[in-house]
């Protein structure tokens, strides 16, 4: 009976080393993850309403500071679907900071240009990345054509759903 108790004591001693190593590894991983997450949170993210691009361009010209203006959300029936397909999107435009007031004044005109263009597209036209890029390029051209001074530098879709 004494031999049986001795065997049990010897076999249980080796398992505690494995448990201790596992607990140490888990603690190390949790600490590393918390440290990485904390450093990412403290680093901060750039403000999305203004994009500062100051400095000199490739050809020595000054690059102006730019701002992003929201044209809000749109819900449009797509052409040729008999009312079955709808495009829902949120459009934002990047303009030079000195043009923000002009763009804000012309927002109804710009929204009309977006609605008119989008309603002329079909589901097949918007399918895939190429379709969305083609729509974005044509939209930027249409928006700049609607303004007295072409001010739109980029068009962003922050939401784009076809149902």
**1 within some domain:** no
Smallest Cα–Cα separation from 95: which of 114, 68, 72? Answer: 68
Residue with tokens 């379709």: 131
Determine the pLDDT at residue 20: 76
Model confidence, pTM = 0.60
The reply to whether 71 falls in a domain is yes
CA dihedral of residues 40, 41, 47, 51 (deg, nearest 10) = -10
Region of 147 (left: φ > 0; alpha: ψ -120 to 50; beta: rest) is beta
Residue span of the structural domain in which 150 resides: 66-162
Residue 48 within a domain: no
pLDDT at 80: 84
Q: In this structure, is residue 53 part of a structural domain?
A: no
What pLDDT, on the 0 to 100 scale, is given for residue 34? 65
Tell whether 43 is covered by a domain: no
Q: Is 37 part of any domain?
A: no
Give the mean pLDDT per block of 10 residues along the chain (163 residues): 53 68 70 60 48 49 79 93 85 93 93 96 93 96 91 95 93
Residue with tokens 């240009």: 113
CATH number, residue 127: 3.30.479.30
Structural domain tally of the chain? 1
Instruction: Quote the pLDDT of residue 75.
Output: 96
Which pair of structure tokens corresponds to residue 79?
A: 């052409």
């Amino acid at each position: 009976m004494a031999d049986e108790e001795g065997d049990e004591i010897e076999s249980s001693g080796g398992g505690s080393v494995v448990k201790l190593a596992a607990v140490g590894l888990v603690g190390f991983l949790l600490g590393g993850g918390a440290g990485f997450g904390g450093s990412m949170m403290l680093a901060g993210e750039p403000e999305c309403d203004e994009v500062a691009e100051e400095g000199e361009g490739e050809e020595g010209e000054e690059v102006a500071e730019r701002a992003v203006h929201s044209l809000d959300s749109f819900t449009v029936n797509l052409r040729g679907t008999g009312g079955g397909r709808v495009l829902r999107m949120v459009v934002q435009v990047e303009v030079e900071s000195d043009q923000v007031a002009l763009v804000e004044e012309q927002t109804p005109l710009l929204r009309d240009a977006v609605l008119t263009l989008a309603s002329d597209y079909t589901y097949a036209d918007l399918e895939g990345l190429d379709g969305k890029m083609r729509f974005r390029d044509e939209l930027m051209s249409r928006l700049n054509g609607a303004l007295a001074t072409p001010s739109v530098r980029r068009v962003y879709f922050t939401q784009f759903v076809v149902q």
